[in-house]
Structures are given as C-alpha cells and as structure tokens.
Structure 1
Amino acid sequence: MVQPLFLEPVFQERIWGGKALKDQFGYEIPSNHTGECWAISAHPNGPSVVKNGAFAGKTLIELWDQNRELFGGYQTKVFPLLTKILDANTDLSVQVHPNDEYANEYENGELGKTECWYIIDCKEGAELIYGHNARTKEELNNMIEDEEWSKLLRRVPVKPGDFFYVPSGTIHALCEGTLVLETQQSSDTTYRVYDYDRTDDKGNKRELHLEKAIDVSTVPHTDANLHIETASVPGADITSFAKEEYFSVYKWDIHGQATFTQDKAFQLFSVLDGDGSMVVDGQAYPVHKGDHFILPAGTGEFTLEGNVSFIVSHP
C-alpha cells in the first residue's frame, strides 16, 4: 500500500533567526536564534527523516538512492527540491545564487538555486530586497565598491499571502519580521553581497563573496512575470503561483472535503494552517499545522478533509 511519507524537520540556527518557528508552529527549536526549518530535505547539510510506515527512520537521501520507484523513477542524480520555513527575525544578508552551470563548475557539482517565497506572516510595514538598479556589471561593481546600498537595492513592501519567484541571478534578501515558506532547488550555495557589517559573538564579520556574486548576478534586473490564478473545485480553492522550469507551486485551501488524483512523479505538502486528515486507500492520516509530507508515485486518488491550507509543489 502506498502511504504518504511524513518527515521530521531539521532546524538550522542563524545569526538572523528568532523563535517564530516555535511560536507559530510549535516546533521544538534548538535556540532563540533558529532561522530555518528544513522541512522536506534530501540535502546532505540537513536531510529529513521519515517518521511513519515501512520507511520510518530512513533519510530522504536514502529513499531517493534506494527506492526511486517511490518518486516515479524521476531521473535526476539528487532529490531536486528543498522546502524550508524561514524566520527572518532580523535582516538576512543581501545575496545572490548561481545557476546550475555555474554551481556545477565552481561548487563541486552542487545544483544552482532558483527559489520562491510564500509570505506566511510579517510585521506591519515589512519589506524585502528584490533586485537592484544597476544597468551594467560595471555599474553594479562600482555601486557595491562605493557601498551605495540605498541607491543600488530595490525594496518591496510585503504582506501575508504574497508570493515571489526568485530565479538564480536575482539579488535579494528577506528583511526583519517576515516568516516565509520557501520552495527551492536542493542547493545550499549562497553568495553574500552585503551583511550590514554585522559581527558574530567573537567579533568576526561573515564572509562576503563579491567576485562570484557579481559574476552570477542578472544585470539589469528583470521582475519575474507571474500569472497567479485561483480556481475553485468542490471543497477547495487552488491557487497556482508558479509553473516554472524547476518547480510548480500551489496553495490548496480545503474547506470540508475535496478529492484529488496524485498524477505527478511525487508531490510535496506543507501544512500552513488548520487541521484535517488525508485519506489514502481507505486509511486516514491526520494532518496538522507544521506537518510536512511527500505523496509518492502511485498514490492515485486521495481525499483531504477539514479546514486546512497547504503549500503543494512538485518538480
């Protein structure tokens, strides 16, 4: 019998992290500087472990390597996606990510990092950095050298429910007071452009990667052209945020009961809010805010019940 694979999140402490992951989702976090919940991860820097069923105790890396049939025989060397929840208690560094070709050449075969953000919650007046105002690489280089940050960086106001697509090459940063669900390529490569001259508890600044950052930045910046649409089906509203090269991302709002068919190689689910259940092959699995799971290949028809909201993705 095909079962959903519920996963144990992995927590990462960060200089900019806080305790929103505990306050909002009830997670047991390692400290009040916890920045990231790696919710669905087969990255070696923080692999998820299966909590239920025949594969309990196995990491997602092991499943990908040994049980590829669960993923429809999907043909990539590594599990392609990574789902995170990020608590930007203070500003993240201004950064940029490489594409696949650059990361493969300069980062030991790592994937590039195209990502997207769903704003779960944010403080009043919150914003993020998305893109820049330089017209040429030379101008980008000069503005960075001269530390003309207010002139260079584009700041965008945000509110809960907003969605941003962040392709590799986009200069960006989450800013103070935002809680975000991130769907990304399975990569941990980040080039820091600016870190507000912060120091750690030993007085050391974090490393910048200016040469690589300028190398990979898209100049001039162009905004992603998204076509966000919501469709109603019996028992649910389905919002399509992105159908892009590396992933498709949706929000499913269930109110009552809705039946679907899992016809993808596999699908990733994160419970944003509410409680309910998923019924597969007559077996009911409770789902609660903060749960994360994978629906494997061959799941077929399944039913979601309750008042519950998910972010759903697939490669």
Structure 2
Amino acid sequence: MGNKKDVLFLEPVFQERIWGGTKLADQFGYEIASELTGECWAVSGHPNGQSMIKNGSFAGKLLGELYTEEKEIFGNHESDRFPLLTKILDANQNLSVQVHPNDKYASENENGEYGKTECWYVIDCEKDAEIIFGHTAETKKEFVEKVKNGEWEGLLTRVKVKPGDFFYVPSGTIHALCSGVLILETQQNSDTTYRVYDYDRKDKKGNTRELHLEKSIDVSTIPHKSMDVVHKVSKTDGATVTRFVEAEYFTVYKWEVDGTYSAKYEKHFLIGSVIVGSGELKINECVYPLKKGDHFIIPSGVEEFTVIGKVEIIISHP
C-alpha cells in the first residue's frame, strides 16, 4: 500500500504539432524530441497521453491507473476517469480555428468521450499577439454561409492578449490560439476537437488536415456568448491568491507566493503547475522542492500545507 498523503509529482507527455515550436524547452527546460513540440500534457489521465507518477510509493504508475485503483487519493471523486487535463501549449504558428462539443454530444458521437470546456492562462506572448475568440454570426444560416464561402475575416473575432490574461472557453466557443502565444490550459479530460478552418495548411506529406464542418456547425454556440468571469483576489502577508473562475467543471487559481503561504483545501485534490520561480511545499514533516515546470497533485484530505519561496503556481480542482 502506498502512502495516500504523498504529494504526487508527474512526468509530462509531449505532443508534436504542425504549429508547435521550442518554447517548452527554452522556457521550461523540458527535453523535447522535436522543434515542432506544441503541447505538454502535464497532468493527464487521458489514454492519448498519460502522465506518469515520478516519486514516492506510486512511482512509475500512470495517472489514469492510479485514479482507478486509489480513488481515496482523489476524494472518491464521482467521475469514472480522472476529470481534468492540464497542458502547456506553445503556439509557434496559428492553431486551427476550432470548437469543442459538450458532454452530451461527445458521449453520443465520440465513443463516450467527455465534452471539452477549457480555460487559458497566458504565460507569455509576443507583442501584439492575439487569439480568435468567438464570431460575429447572429444566426446559424449566417454562420453556415460565411463558413462555406470562406469569409473568415468577417466571421472570426480577434482579441489582443498579454501575459497574465485569462480566458474561459466553454464548449461550443469558436476559438484559436494565434502565433506567439504560450498558455497553460485547464480543461475537461477530453481530446475531441472539431476543426473549422486551418489556413489551407499542408502537413509534411503535402496533405491538408481534415476539417469537421458538419460537427462544428452542430456544436457551435450561435450567436457567440461571452461568459463574464469575475476574478476574486485575496492578499495575505506572503501571497496574492487570484481565483480566475469557479465553473461547472473546474475552479482555477493563481498563487503568487513571496514568502510563506499556508492554506487548507480539504475537500478537493489540487493540481499545481509551477510557472515562475522556485520554492518548497511543506506538509507536516515532508518538504517537497518546487521549481518552474513542476506539476503535482496534493491529495484530497491533506488538512494543511505551506508554500515557501518566490513562486507562481496555477492551481485547479474539479
């Protein structure tokens, strides 16, 4: 039996993408196999790329297996699979314009997969970088006509971004990261994406990538609805804690620690990703060093813990 109160550190999985680059190595020091590395699946129990536990008595176990076998660590969460997926994405080029289904549509059309609501924290970006977020069509008819006629400039809404920005992206939202943006994404545990437009790009073999226009039209929210998320900021002597969103599938925070921060979150397991700086995490007598690029899970039922150092961590829980 492993110790169910150990903090779990995870080995990420890297995914090559046509739009990827080298920032995951340049900024986080990860060993990547290709100069087209687009995604770090940092905390993943998804069969398309599972993180492995690096430390303690569960070292070598895949996160999805551990979730199934030791539900207690995760507060006996009701989901039949690990519920969330944390990624870091390096958009060296524009991503395809895409949309994700909700749970009902994905379950019926994608072999029982979850839908995909997600959110983005902008870690870094080039000056004047932007994203595509939403569209201008008021009716389904107008949306379909503009898609079929390739009227992308008139249809797609562009938004300028800067480091520290946060976007909540519910299923049904037309969206895309554009070139020069590095984000941390918290999402439902799903790998279902419908491409609406891909700039007529060709892959290494000279093929254009598949589009999913019928499914995209089925699942897109028309007209676009922007969800207002109100950030809630609380300050203590040693930390600023920003709650970005508390939504149906996840709650996401940023902890900016400069000194010492003690907290309790008994009812949830917590997912943490260190995006700036270094420090340590103390639970009872155990001390875990933290550095930029580390990803970890604090088990459910850990009554209190302390973060010491100068460090920024994105935290989420279901």
- Counterpart selection for 1:117 from 117, 120, 124: 120
Match of 2:50 among 47, 51, 58: 47
> What's the offset of the Cα at 1:224?
1.0
Contact 1:255 1:308 in 2 (8 A): yes
Q: d(CA) in 2 for partners of 1:21 and 1:264?
A: 33
Looking at structure 1, the residues matched to 281 and 267 of structure 2 have their Cα atoms a distance apart, in angstroms, of 17
> 1:91, CA displacement in angstroms?
0.0
Determine if the alignment matches structure 1 residue 92 to structure 2 residue 106.
no
Give 2:131's aligned amino acid: L
Return the letter of the residue paired with 1:278.
Answer: L
Aligned partners of 1:3 and 1:299 also within 8 Å: no
Q: CA deviation at 1:163?
A: 0.2
CA contact (8 A) 1:112 1:189 kept: yes
Please state whether the residue corresponding to 1:300 is helix, strand or coil.
Answer: coil
Residue aligning to 2:224? 221
Give the stretch that moved more between structures: 233-242 or 124-133.
Answer: 233-242
CA distance in 2, matches of 1:229, 1:196: 38
RMSD: 0.6
Indicate yes or no: 2:140 matched with 1:129.
no
> What is the one-letter code of the residue matched to 2:98?
Q
2:17 is aligned to: 14
Q: Is the 8 A contact 1:262 1:295 kept in 2?
A: no
Question: Following the alignment from structure 1 to structure 2, what is the Cα–Cα distance between the partners of residues 170 and 180?
Answer: 18
Q: In structure 2, the residue corresponding to 1:156 is in which secondary structure? A: strand
Structure 2: which amino acid aligns with 1:311? Answer: I
Contact 1:137 1:219 in 2 (8 A): yes
Equivalence for 1:139 = 142
Report how far residue 300 of structure 1 moved: 1.2
State how far apart, in whole Å, the 2-side matches of 1:202 and 1:295 are: 44
Q: Pick one of 157, 160, 164 that aligns with 1:157.
A: 160
1:171-186 to structure 2, matched below 5 A, reads 171-186=174-189
Indicate if the aligned counterparts of 1:101 and 1:112 stay in contact, CA closer than 8 A. Answer: yes
Match of 1:65 in 2: 68
Which one of 33, 52, 56 corresponds to residue 30 of structure 1?
33
TM-score, structure 2 length as denominator?
Answer: 0.98
- Structure 2 gap ranges (5+): none
Offset from partner CA, 1:177-212 (integer Å, 9 cap, x none): 000000000000000000000001111000000000
Question: Could you tell me how far apart the structure 1 residues matched to 2:118 and 2:286 are?
Answer: 34
The 8 Å contact of residues 73 and 265 in structure 1, kept in 2 or not, is answered as: no
Q: Check the 8 A contact 1:61/1:79 in 2, yes or no.
A: yes
For residue 297 of structure 1, report the CA deviation from its aligned partner: 1.1
- Aligned-pair distance for 1:8? 0.1
State the SS of the aligned residue for 1:249.
strand
Contact 1:264 1:314 in 2 (8 A): no
Q: CA deviation at 1:248?
A: 0.3
Shift in Å, 1:265 = 2.4
Aligned to 1:110, what secondary structure does the other structure show? coil
SS at match of 1:22: helix
Asked if the contact 1:13–1:36 (Cα under 8 Å) also holds between the matched residues in 2, the reply is yes
Q: Determine the structure 2 residue equivalent to 1:312.
A: 315
Q: Which residue of 1 aligns with 2:6?
A: 3
Shift of 1:264: 2.8
1:236 Cα deviation after fit: 0.7
Q: Secondary structure at the match of 1:79?
A: coil
1:238·1:251 contact (CA, 8 Å) conserved in 2?
yes
C-alpha displacement of 1:234: 3.0
One-letter code aligned to 1:284: V
Decide which of 206, 209, 213 is 1:206's aligned counterpart. Answer: 209
Residue deviations 1:74-119, cap 9 Å, x none? 1111111000000000000000000000000000000000000000
- 1:241-252 superposed matches below 5 A: 241-252=244-255
TM-score of the aligned structures, taking structure 1 as reference length: 0.99
